[in-house]
Structure 1
Amino acid sequence: MTPIRIRKYSWQLAPGHIRDIRQRVFVDEQRVPPHLEWDATDEIADHYLAVTTNNEPVAVARLFSTLDETAHIGRMAVLPPWRGQGVGEALLRQLIRDAGEQFNELRLSAQRHAVAFYQRAGFHVCSDLYDDAGIPHVDMRCLAPGLIASESGERSCPLLLGEDRPSWLFSAEHHMITLLDTLAGQACQRLWLYDRLLDHDIYDRHQFRELLSALARRHRLSEIRLLIHDDKPLIKRRHQIVELMRRLPSRIELRLVNPDYPVTDQPFMLVDREGVLYRHDFYKPEGFASFANGGRVKLLGETFVRMWEAGRRSLELRDLPL
C-alpha cells in the first residue's frame, strides 16, 4: 500500500492540483462535460487532496452536507498510475472518519464499476441503476459511518448484508439503533420484528419509518410483519409506523402475541435470509447484530412463524379513526 498524507481545503483555498486531477480523470479520461463537472457544490464542500510522502498529488474527493443532515461524498478520483495501490481506500477511510464525527448517514453516487470498492468500505446500494453524464451509476449509503470509523479490526465489507460475517455487539441504545437502521435499510423483501412493544424511542423515528416505507413499496412480494405484546402505547400516542401500516395494509401487518402460547423473552428483527438483530431481553439495549448469519435467521424465523400463527390482530388499531 502506498503511504499517503491527506489534506483538507475549502474551495477558495484549494490548490490547483485538485482541479487538475478532476480535469484529467473526469473530463479528459471519462469525457464528462465540463459544465457538469464544475458546479456550485464546490463552494460549500470540503476538498481532500491525497499526496505521497514526496508531496506528489495523487487523488482527490469532496465532502459536503445537505439540509437533511446527511453527508455526501463526491468527485472522488485517483490518477491512473496510483490506482490499485490502496490510495483510494485510505482516502475513503478518512472521509468516513470525518463524516462519522457529525453525521449518521453518508451517501455517494458510484459508477457501476466502483460498487464493490465502496461495498468493501461499508456502503450498500440503495437505488436502481441510472445514467449520469453518460456513465451508469447507483446511489450508495452508509448508515453507520461513526460505527465503521470506530471499528479497529479488519472487516471485509463491514455492515454489508450477506457479506459481513463477524457479529457486532452493542450495549447502548444509539449503537443498537444504528445497527437496526443499517439492517432495515438493506432489506430486499422481508423484515420480521418481534418485541414487547413498538417503543417510540426506537421505532417511532422518521428514519426507520422511511426505511420500512421503501421496503414496503419495493415490489408486490415485500413483507413486513410486526409481532408485539402490547398495543396500548400505539393507541395512546400517534406512531409513524401505525400510520404507514394503515396506508399499506397489504405489505405491513401487525399482530399481538397469544398469551396462552409459549413465547420467547428475547426480542429480535430478521432481515431477508441473512440479517438479524437480537437483544438479550426486552428492557435493555444489549445484544448483537449479524449481517450474514443464515443459520440463526432460520432458527429464529421458525420461532417467529410459530408465534405469528398463534397471534391475533389488534382490534383497537383496526378501529382507530383515519
Structure 2
Amino acid sequence: MTRVRIRKYSWPLAPGHIRDIRQRVFVEEQKVPPELEWDDTDDIADHYLAVTDNNEPAAVARVFSTLDETAHIGRMAVLPEFRGLGVGDALLKHLISDAAGFGELKLSAQEHAIPFYQRSGFHVCSDLYDDAGIPHVDMRCLSPDILAPELPRRQCPMILGKDRDAWLFESEGDMISLLDSMTGQATQRLWLYDRMLDHDTYNRYRFRELLSALARRHRLSEVRLLIHDDKPLIKRRHQIVELMRRLPSRIELKLVNDDYPVEDRPFLLADREGVVYRHNFHKPEGFANFADDGRVRLLGESFQRMWDVGRSSLELRELPL
C-alpha cells in the first residue's frame, strides 16, 4: 500500500502533472482521441492530484457538479507504475468524502473497472455503451453522506447482493438515502409495505424516477405497494399515483385486509436480497441490509400472504383521469 497526499486545484492553477498523467494514460495508453480527452468541462471542474510521500505524481481525477445537486467524477487515471498499490482506492475515497454534501455521485466507468468502483459503494445504473471505443457503464452512489464516513471499514458498501453488514438509521434523511439506494439497484422486484405512502418519504421526484426505471427495465419487472390507508393519496396529488396510471401493468397497489393477520412493522424488499426495515410505522428508525436473502425470504412470504388477501383501492379507481 503506497501512501499518497491529495491536492485540489482549479484548472487555471493546475500543475502540468495533471495534464501529463491524463495524456499518458488516456491518449497514449488507451488511444482516446485528444479532441475527446480535452473538453470545456475542465474549466468548471475541480482537479485532484495524488502524490506519494516522495512527491511523485501518481494519479488524477476531476469532479464537477450540476444543477440537480449531483457531483460527477471523471478523468480518473493512475499511472501504470502505481497501479495495484491502493493509490486509486485512496483517491476515490477522498473524492467521495470531498463531495459528500451532494445528493448523488455519478461516474462513467470502463467495464473492467466496475469491481473497483463497487468496492467504494458505486452501483451500475446503465447498460453497456461505447465511449471513445472503450466499453463503459454509468455508475452512481445515492447515499454519499452516509457512505463517506464508513468507507475505511467496509468493502462494497451498499452494493446489492454483496454488502452483508447492516446499516442502522435513526433519521428521516438517512432512511430516505437508504431507501433510494436500495430501490435504485433493484433489477426485477420491489415490494413495499407501509401504513401509507407518506408524502415526505415517497412523494419525491427521485423515488418516482427510480420506481419508473425499475418498472420499465424488463417485461417481468414488478412493483407492489401494500398499504393500510389510501386517503392521503387522494387528498393530495401523489407522484406515485401518476406513475401507476402510466404503468398500470407494472406497478400495483393494494390495501391490507384487516380480517387477516398483518405485519406491524413496515419494510421494503429489493429483488431477493435487499431489505429496508423500520421498527414501527411512525418513526424513521431501523436498518437496511443489502445482502440478507434469509430475512428477505421470510418477509417476502409474509408480504405474499398479505398481498393475496389484499383489496384494491376503490378511491384510486374512481379518481378522474
TM-score (norm 2): 0.99
2:61, 2:77 within 8 Å by CA — same for their partners in 1? Answer: yes
Alignment of 1:187-198 (within 5 A): 187-198=186-197
Partner of 2:93: 93
Q: What is the identity, as a one-letter code, of the residue corresponding to 1:253?
A: E
In 2, the alpha carbon distance for the partners of 1:153 and 1:5 equals 16
Output one character per residue of 1:250-302: Cα deviation in whole Å (capped at 9) or x when no partner.
00000000011111110000000000000000000000000000000000000
In 1, the alpha carbon distance for the partners of 2:189 and 2:152 equals 30
The yes-or-no answer on 1:299 pairing with 2:298 is yes
- State the 1:54 CA deviation: 1.3
In percent, how many aligned pairs have the same letter? 77
In 2, the alpha carbon distance for the partners of 1:109 and 1:251 equals 29
Partner of 1:135: 134
2:267, 2:276 within 8 Å by CA — same for their partners in 1? Answer: yes
In 1, the alpha carbon distance for the partners of 2:12 and 2:113 equals 29
SS at match of 1:258: coil
- State the 1:91 CA deviation: 0.2
In 2, the alpha carbon distance for the partners of 1:274 and 1:228 equals 22
The yes-or-no answer on 1:24 pairing with 2:19 is no
In 2, the alpha carbon distance for the partners of 1:66 and 1:173 equals 25
2:277, 2:286 within 8 Å by CA — same for their partners in 1? Answer: yes
Alignment of 1:154-233 (within 5 A): 154-233=153-232
SS at match of 2:77: strand
- State the 1:153 CA deviation: 5.4
Alignment of 1:72-87 (within 5 A): 72-87=72-87
In 1, the alpha carbon distance for the partners of 2:152 and 2:13 equals 36
In 2, the alpha carbon distance for the partners of 1:19 and 1:239 equals 49
SS at match of 1:12: helix
SS at match of 2:217: coil
SS at match of 2:13: coil
Of stretches 296-305 and 65-74 in structure 1, the one that deviates more from structure 2 is 65-74
- State the 1:146 CA deviation: 1.3
In 1, the alpha carbon distance for the partners of 2:218 and 2:259 equals 35
Q: What is the identity, as a one-letter code, of the residue corresponding to 1:97?
A: S
SS at match of 2:263: coil
- State the 1:170 CA deviation: 0.6
Partner of 1:67: 67
- State the 1:99 CA deviation: 0.8
- State the 1:152 CA deviation: 6.2
Alignment of 1:27-38 (within 5 A): 27-38=27-38
SS at match of 1:81: helix
SS at match of 2:99: helix
Output one character per residue of 1:19-73: Cα deviation in whole Å (capped at 9) or x when no partner.
0000000000000000000000000000000001111111000000012111000
SS at match of 1:138: strand
Of stretches 282-291 and 149-158 in structure 1, the one that deviates more from structure 2 is 149-158
Output one character per residue of 1:75-127: Cα deviation in whole Å (capped at 9) or x when no partner.
00000000000000000000000110x20100000001100000001000000
In 2, the alpha carbon distance for the partners of 1:52 and 1:200 equals 49
In 2, the alpha carbon distance for the partners of 1:117 and 1:9 equals 25
In 2, the alpha carbon distance for the partners of 1:113 and 1:262 equals 49
- State the 1:138 CA deviation: 0.3
In 2, the alpha carbon distance for the partners of 1:153 and 1:95 equals 13
Q: What is the identity, as a one-letter code, of the residue corresponding to 2:69?
A: E
Aligned length: 321
In 2, the alpha carbon distance for the partners of 1:146 and 1:48 equals 20
Of stretches 64-73 and 39-48 in structure 1, the one that deviates more from structure 2 is 64-73
Q: What is the identity, as a one-letter code, of the residue corresponding to 1:297?
A: V
Give 5+ residue unaligned stretches, structure 1. Answer: none
Partner of 2:265: 266
Partner of 1:7: 7
Q: What is the identity, as a one-letter code, of the residue corresponding to 2:273?
A: E
SS at match of 1:72: strand
In 1, the alpha carbon distance for the partners of 2:95 and 2:186 equals 26
In 1, the alpha carbon distance for the partners of 2:294 and 2:69 equals 37
The yes-or-no answer on 1:277 pairing with 2:276 is yes
TM-score (norm 1): 0.99
In 2, the alpha carbon distance for the partners of 1:300 and 1:157 equals 24
Output one character per residue of 1:185-224: Cα deviation in whole Å (capped at 9) or x when no partner.
0000000000000000000000100000000000110000
Output one character per residue of 1:145-171: Cα deviation in whole Å (capped at 9) or x when no partner.
111112165212000000000110111
Partner of 1:50: 50
After TM superposition, where is structure 1 displaced by more than 3 Å over at least 4 residues in a row?
Answer: none
RMSD: 0.7
